[in-house]
């Protein structure tokens, strides 16, 4: 079977397996992603006559605050979130439970092809690197994961921008097309890749760390078992641990990515054409100056709560689906 990977399944079967994992993971994890985006897209107050642009998930109103007293009512707004559980409660209370799955169709449109491309590219690249001895078996997962993620981020970045706008601004699907056209008119086609830099800085190191740790933890859990015979339970545990570690280390870049993408909505609200976007490092310094180090880790709890189970569910579903196709292919060979 020359068109199949060392695990005994074809690239198409790898794509089907990873796509199934993406669907299952998205159904469970979208509410946590919605809460994370809402928390990260909030901005601290700026008094003394400055404008307050606050994305509460329903609309992005502009608040003019000539003095602190006039802002008092806004600070008591029930849709301003103080934490993860507070966001869950207020979103359900004021917007309905369905809001927690806002952007799910866009998420599926993005994650299914992205995951299929990503996981298939990872397996093929890892097999290539190991097969041709281009790098050691220890570092092959790290290199393959980074390269696979870089290519996927570039292809999927415009779809993630749309998903973030759906979740942060709560626009309808009919309005999404108008939002995209407005974004292109104001910022050019490059605006569709708004946030590509911080997304790559978040996802490429995340992927490298994730696959490196996943293979190590899986090998440790497997013991003397063949590496291609990993049980679903072991994959679940290894994926959860690896996802948590990678998510913690890359969270500041996730905050920057979210703020940069919702910034496009801010410019639309005040009808300002962006001249030049701040660099990732400048945004990191600004967030730290406005909100302290804690601001760099906004959405920490929902990201961690999401990362561990989502990585665990995704990789275990993928491994289970791969095992299914491996058995199917073996049965076909025996029956031939």
List, for residues 145-162, the tens digit of each pLDDT value.
999 999 888 888 777 677
Which pLDDT score, from 0 to 100, does residue 266 have? Answer: 56
Average pLDDT in the 25-47 region?
71
Average pLDDT in the 27-47 region?
70
Taking alpha carbons only, the member of 120, 317, 121, 308 closest to residue 213 is 308
21-25, 37-41, 93-97: segment of lowest average pLDDT: 37-41
Non-local (6+) Cβ contacts of 229 within 8 A are 222
- Please, are residues 240 and 312 in contact by the beta-carbon 8 Å criterion? yes
Non-local (6+) Cβ contacts of 226 within 8 A are none
Residue 234 pLDDT > 60: yes
Paired tokens of 68 = 């602190």
- Report which of residues 310 and 270 the model is more confident about: 310
Average pLDDT in the 310-332 region?
90
Taking alpha carbons only, the member of 77, 83, 84, 33 closest to residue 56 is 77
Its pTM stands at: 0.67
- Please, are residues 142 and 208 in contact by the beta-carbon 8 Å criterion? yes
Q: In the Cβ-directed half-sphere of 158, how many Cα atoms lie within 13 Å? A: 13
Average pLDDT in the 167-191 region?
70
Taking alpha carbons only, the member of 205, 109, 121 closest to residue 158 is 109
Which pLDDT score, from 0 to 100, does residue 57 have? Answer: 27
Distance CA 167, CA 43 (A): 16
Spell out the domains of the chain, with CATH numbers in brackets.
11-35+78-329 (1.50.40.10)
- Report which of residues 284 and 217 the model is more confident about: 217
Which pLDDT score, from 0 to 100, does residue 62 have? Answer: 30
- Report which of residues 105 and 147 the model is more confident about: 147
Paired tokens of 54 = 């606050």
- Report which of residues 112 and 183 the model is more confident about: 112
Which pLDDT score, from 0 to 100, does residue 25 have? Answer: 86
Which pLDDT score, from 0 to 100, does residue 68 have? Answer: 41
Which pLDDT score, from 0 to 100, does residue 261 have? Answer: 62
Q: What confidence tier does 34 reach under pLDDT thresholds 50, 70, 90? A: confident
Residue 276 pLDDT > 70: no
Q: What confidence tier does 215 reach under pLDDT thresholds 50, 70, 90? A: very high
Residue 142 pLDDT > 70: yes
Paired tokens of 78 = 């029930």
Which pLDDT score, from 0 to 100, does residue 100 have? Answer: 85
- Report which of residues 149 and 172 the model is more confident about: 149
Mean pLDDT of the chain, nearest integer: 75
- Report which of residues 46 and 305 the model is more confident about: 305
Residue 267 pLDDT > 80: no
- Alpha carbon 137 to its chain centroid, in Å, reads 27
Q: What confidence tier does 141 reach under pLDDT thresholds 50, 70, 90? A: very high
Taking alpha carbons only, the member of 28, 233, 261 closest to residue 167 is 261
- Alpha carbon 310 to its chain centroid, in Å, reads 10
Average pLDDT in the 255-278 region?
60
């Amino acid at each position: 079977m020359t068109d199949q990977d060392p695990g005994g399944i074809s690239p198409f079967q790898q794509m089907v397996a990873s796509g199934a994992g993406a669907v299952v993971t998205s159904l469970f994890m979208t509410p946590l992603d919605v809460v994370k985006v809402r928390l990260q897209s909030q901005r601290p107050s700026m008094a003394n006559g400055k404008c307050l642009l606050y994305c509460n998930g329903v609309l992005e109103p502009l608040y003019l605050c000539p003095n602190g007293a006039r802002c008092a009512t806004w600070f008591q707004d029930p849709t301003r979130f103080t934490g993860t559980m507070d966001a869950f409660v207020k979103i359900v209370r004021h917007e309905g439970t369905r809001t927690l799955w806002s952007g799910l169709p866009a998420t599926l449109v993005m994650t299914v092809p992205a995951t299929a491309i990503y996981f298939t590219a990872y397996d093929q690249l890892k097999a290539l690197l190991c097969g041709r001895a281009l790098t050691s078996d220890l570092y092959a997962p790290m290199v393959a994961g980074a390269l696979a993620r870089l290519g996927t981020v570039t292809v999927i970045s415009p779809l993630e921008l749309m998903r973030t706008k759906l979740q942060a601004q709560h626009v309808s699907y009919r309005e999404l097309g108008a939002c995209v056209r407005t974004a292109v008119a104001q910022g050019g086609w490059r605006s569709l890749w708004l946030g590509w830099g911080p997304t790559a800085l978040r996802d490429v190191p995340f992927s490298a760390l994730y696959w490196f740790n996943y293979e190590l933890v899986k090998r440790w859990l497997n013991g003397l078992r063949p590496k291609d015979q990993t049980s679903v339970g072991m994959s679940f545990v290894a994926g959860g641990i690896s996802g948590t570690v990678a998510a913690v280390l890359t969270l500041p870049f996730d905050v920057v990515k979210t703020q940069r993408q919702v910034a496009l909505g801010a410019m639309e609200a005040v009808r300002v054409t962006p001249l030049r976007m701040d660099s990732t490092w400048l945004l990191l310094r600004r967030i730290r100056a406005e909100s302290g180090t804690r601001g760099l880790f906004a959405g920490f709890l929902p990201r961690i709560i999401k990362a561990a189970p989502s990585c665990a569910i995704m990789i275990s579903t993928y491994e289970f689906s791969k095992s299914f196709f491996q058995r199917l292919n073996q049965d076909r060979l025996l029956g031939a």
